[in-house]
Structure formats: C-alpha cells, structure tokens
Structure 1
Amino acid sequence: MLTIPRTELPADLQILHQNIREFLVQQTPREGKSESAQLSGTTNLKGDQQYLFDKQIDHLVFDWLEKHFEGGEVLSEEDSNLRHFGKNGLYRFVSDPVDGSDNFFRGLPLSSISLAVLASKSELCVDQVQFSMVGSLASSVPILASTNKGAWQGDTRLRVSPVSEVKNAFISCEMNHAFVDSHLGKLLKDARGVRSYGCASQAITLVAQGALDVHIDIRSRLTPESFLAAAHILQEAGGSLFIEGEKKIASSLADRFNLIVASTPELLCEVKQRLFGDITP
C-alpha cells in the first residue's frame, strides 16, 4: 500500500475549510435572485445542475491545493477532468466542494465540504484514504481524521454510539429519487427515529459522532466523492461500513454505489438482514 509522508495535512485542511466558509459567508444565493439565476447552465458528473457557487468553490479548492502542496491530482464532482498540479504528485485529492448544494441554496442547515486525501494513483476506495475532512458550512470546526489516529472535531475525539438493535436506533435514510419497498418501510417503521438530510457526508459523520446510529443510501446513486472522506471518518470513529456497487472498487467518480453505515457490527448485520436477507457482517 502506498503511504503519504507524515505532514501537518489535517491542520492544513482545517485552514481550507475556514477559507471556504469565509467565501460563502459573502455569498447570499437566495437574496433577490431566483434559483434559475443562480444556476450555471452546466451539469456535474451525476447530471445534476450546478449552482454558480458549486463551480466557484471547486476553483477555490483547486487553487488552494495548488498553492499549499508540491503536487498532486484532483478529482471533483464539479469537474469531469482529472486535474494535475506541480511536478511531484504525491497526493490524490477527491473533493465534493459543496455536498448538499440544494440545502445551501435554500438555507437548509446541512451542507459541507468533503475532501479525501489518498496517495497518488491509489484506488478510489475507503481503505486507501489517508486523511479526510468533512467540514460543515454551518460550523467553524471541521471533522478531521488520519488513518489509525482517530477522528476528531477540535479537541473532541469522535466515537460511535453503542446502539446494537434497530428498535433503539436513530436512522438516517436518503430519500431523494428513492423507491421505498416493504423491507425498507418496515425497517424505518421499527426504528426509534428516522431522519433524512440530503447530504451524505453530514449524515455519515453524524453516525461517527454518535448522534445517529445508522445511515442508509440504497438508491444506487451514491458516487465516491460523496462518501470517501466521511466513511474514512466513520471507520476511525469505530463504526461499521457496507458498500456495494456494480464494481467493487470505483474507477471514476461516475461509478455509483449503495452504502449502509452503522454504529456497531451487530446493528449493521441486522439492517442488512432485514433489507437483503444477508446475515453476514
């Protein structure tokens, strides 16, 4: 496995998060402007319409990385091209500049920047992530993780909850464009509580923080930039993870997956068994 040299990378990512929040504070996407006036007229890799601020933040992230690192390659939801900078490409950065763009535009609370850092040429899978950041646009303190060093928000180390049964679990389920079959409907009915946020990175990190116990996204629509950083954080907080797709490992950000994360292996096993009849952990 390729490794990244020890650096102060997590601290650097916190500065990037601060810069993005400062930029967005100056943006008032809803003030006096219709949604159509805020759209860029282009679509991202998923085919979703892009807001102007999506593209602005994407450029800000690339420019910041180019200034602060010797070299690397950047994969982003907002740009279909693999972009390179510098001569010494140590890093592969996987970016979702604004996860939850619709939430941000409408003034809803959950949106974030998500950034996973891998060694250059690494496969696009959670086990290859070395550093990660999910920074809520509503908070000045992002969540950061380093492999085998835990997940942290400021001085607070993140830990998942001990919940091990659906009947005691607060579950987040992504519902946009979702088909709710009888198995999923019964699971949600039996849970202690159900939420839906429209921001994958935030929902997954809420499980890492112990605020939620499960997050489910089984629409076959989730792409790697939306979950790589958050899933890395979840694992560093002690959580359990299930990912499936047409490919075992993504070859590009266009590849789509299903994902379930849970606070404990027992809870993940119960959720999978009830959804798929799968009893393996």
Structure 2
Amino acid sequence: MSSYKEHLPIAVEATRRAAEAMRQQSPGALASKGDRDVVSELDYAIERDLRAFLSTETPDIGFHGEEEGPSGSSSKRWVLDPIDGTSNYVRGLPLCAVSLALVQGNEAVVGVIELPFLSATYTAAKGWGAHANGQRITVSNTTCLSQALVAVGDYAVGPDAETRNQLRLALTGQLAAEVQRIRMTGSAALDLAWLAHGKLDAALTLSNHPWDMASGVIIAREAGAVVIDGHGARHDMTSTTTLAITPELTDPILAAYQKAITIVADAR
C-alpha cells in the first residue's frame, strides 16, 4: 500500500506542469471531436508532455491519455485527461481540471486533480485518505435530500443523443423535485473533487470513459463517498456510469435514479 503513496509526488508534479501550461498558454487551434465536442492544441501538447515526463520518471508504468490512447504496460498505467472541461477552458470559464490517476488492473489507486484557475490540488492514494492542498478532506454529512447539492454530468451529444438524454432528463426531473439545487459544471473531475471536499453531496455521470473518472473516483472514495455504477456494483475502470454520493444520501438518490429508469422504460 505504501508504494501507492510514493507515486503521489510524481503525479502532483505532472499535473502542476499541465496546470502551468493552461495558465500560461492559449488553447491554440480547436478541432472537432464529433457532434458539438472540441479538442484544443493544448490538450494534445499537455498529453504529450506528461506522457514523456511520466515515461522518464516511471518507465515501468504504462500510460493512457484521452487524446492519443495507450502506450506501455496495461496492468499498471497512468490515466490522463489533459484538460477536463475543454469547452469551459476555451471560453475562459475556470471550471476545468487536469485529471491524472494511477490505475492497477481495473482500480484507481492514486489520483490527482488540479484546478488551475481555482488554486486547488486534490490528491488521494488508496488507504491514505483524500486531501485538498495538503489538508485532509471528507465528504459532507448531509442527511436530508432537501438540503443536497447534486451535480449532474453533461447531457449527451453525438449519435443517439436524443434517446440517451431521456434518462438524463428524467433523472433531472426527479432530483429537481427533491434536492435543494442541481449543478452542471461541465467537468466530471471537478464534480468528484468537490464531492470529496463536501461542497457537493452527489456527482452523477451517466456516461463516461476511464480518463473522465479515474482520479476523481479514488479521491471521492478516500474521502468517504459511495462510488458505484448504474447497476449498484462497486465502480471500477470498466464502468460507464458513475454515481458518487455522500453515504447518508445513497439510498434516496439511488431511488430517484431507479425511478427515472422506470419512467423512461414506461415511455417507450
């Protein structure tokens, strides 16, 4: 277990490099990644820089970046989203992050989320807790749904978006009737970091890739969150739905999720 924690300084330095690039450089040219999705030149530049940096620092560990895919070992690998929330970043919105995790098998064991424009670095290693700027953090102790702030991931774009959004809209409707507020920040990493810090009470993402969630899952889990997939099983890197919730609200939020599923099924 101690070996996981030993990788944290390297991960922190990697995300620091990326965050500095985001603060000092422009996004550069934008390219389409499909329907209403973009990638910037800086996404690629950061990913290439961190791939090279981590290959030098940890040559026995593989790497998987969002933009250019895997290299090296697949059993133990760094998983990177160079800019989570690119759409926010290119418009000058500060709700964006660098998200880096160390994944062993199908489980994230180290995570760092850097929020370059919010002066926050979130870290965790399996068995060692979660921290924000070096201070231990835990999830909220909210027990009443009417007092909950819940983040919902972006609505779907691309093929079959209308069908995929039926569940998102139904879930939003269920939550809007019960929680204090719903938030949609545009960054899954930021949602999970703020859940870990007690700023949010749940972070619900209904479709995702490993690089979207890996670091946030270990940080949220080490802060005390329940992190499961859409079937109620323990979340891992094969999961495509992420439901991360402060413990006392797990049952009512899962009930809202299941009700949304029923509403969509009945409508078809």
Same fold by TM-score, threshold 0.5 exceeded?
yes
1:257 match: secondary structure: coil
Q: How does 1:17-36 map to 2 (within 5 A)?
A: 17-29=15-27
What is the Cα-based RMSD across aligned positions, in Å? 2.7
**Is 1:188 the counterpart of 2:176 in the alignment?**
yes
Contact 1:159 1:238 (8 Å CA) reproduced: yes
In structure 1, what residue type is equivalent to 2:93?
L
Q: What secondary structure is seen at the aligned counterpart in 2 of 1:222? A: coil
Say whether 1:158 aligns with 2:137. Answer: yes
Cα distance, 1:176 vs. partner? 2.5
| TM-aligned CA distance change 1:115 to 1:213, over 3 Å | same
Report the AA paired with residue 241 of structure 1: V
Q: How far apart are the structure 1 equivalents of 2:51 and 2:63?
A: 7
Structure with the higher helix share, 1 or 2 = 2
**Is 1:236 paired with 2:222?**
yes
- Segment of structure 1 superposing worse, 134-143 or 177-186: 177-186
In the alignment, the residues of structure 2 paired with residue 263 and residue 166 of structure 1 have an alpha-carbon distance, to the nearest angstrom, of 11
Structure 2 contact 43–83 (Cα < 8 Å) conserved: yes
Change (3 A) 1:90 1:215: closer
* Post-superposition offset of 1:90: 8.2
Structure 1 partner of 2:40: 51
Change (3 A) 1:103 1:164: same
Larger strand share, 1 or 2: 1
Q: Do residues 261 (structure 1) and 248 (structure 2) align?
A: no
* TM-score, structure 2 normalization: 0.83
Over 3 Å counting, the alpha-carbon distance change for 1:158 and 1:7 in structure 2 is closer
Q: What amino acid maps onto 2:240 in structure 1?
A: F
- State the TM-score, normalized to the length of structure 1: 0.79
| Alignment deviations for residues 94-151 of structure 1 (CA, whole Å, 9 cap, x no partner) | 11111111111011111111111023xx12xxxx222111111214441110111100
> Can you give the 5+ residue segments of structure 1 that lack an aligned partner in the other structure?
30-36
Which residue is 2:62 aligned to? 73
Cα distance in 2, alignment partners of residues 159 and 105 from structure 1: 31
- Map residues 1-281 of structure 1 onto 2, 5 A cutoff: 5=3, 8-29=6-27, 38-40=29-31, 43=33, 48-80=37-69, 82-84=70-72, 91-119=76-104, 122-123=105-106, 128-177=107-156, 178-179=165-166, 180-218=168-206, 221-244=207-230, 250=237, 257-264=240-247, 266-277=248-259
> 1:234, CA displacement in angstroms?
0.5
Whole-angstrom distance in 2 between the partners of 1:235 and 1:189? 27
Aligned-pair distance for 1:185? 0.5
Amino acid of the residue matched to residue 274 of structure 1? A
**Residues 201, 227 of structure 1: 8 Å contact kept:** yes
Q: Distance in 2 between matches of 1:171 and 1:214?
A: 5
Please tell me whether the aligned partners of residues 113 and 136 of structure 1 are also in contact (alpha carbons under 8 angstroms).
yes
1:277 CA displacement: 4.5
Q: Deviation string for 1:72-104 (max 9, x for gaps)?
A: 211111113x2128xxx9841111111111111
> Equivalents in 2 of 1:242, 1:118: separation in Å?
17
Deviation (angstroms), 1:194: 1.6
Matched residue of 1:212: which SS?
Answer: coil
CA contact (8 A) 1:132 1:146 kept: yes
Count of paired positions: 249
CA distance in 1, matches of 2:91, 2:133: 28
- Separation (CA, whole Å) in 2 of partners of 1:139 and 1:12: 21
Q: Contact 1:164–1:267 at 8 Å: present in 2 too?
A: yes
Question: Quick check: 2:76–2:103 contact (8 Å CA) kept in 1?
Answer: yes
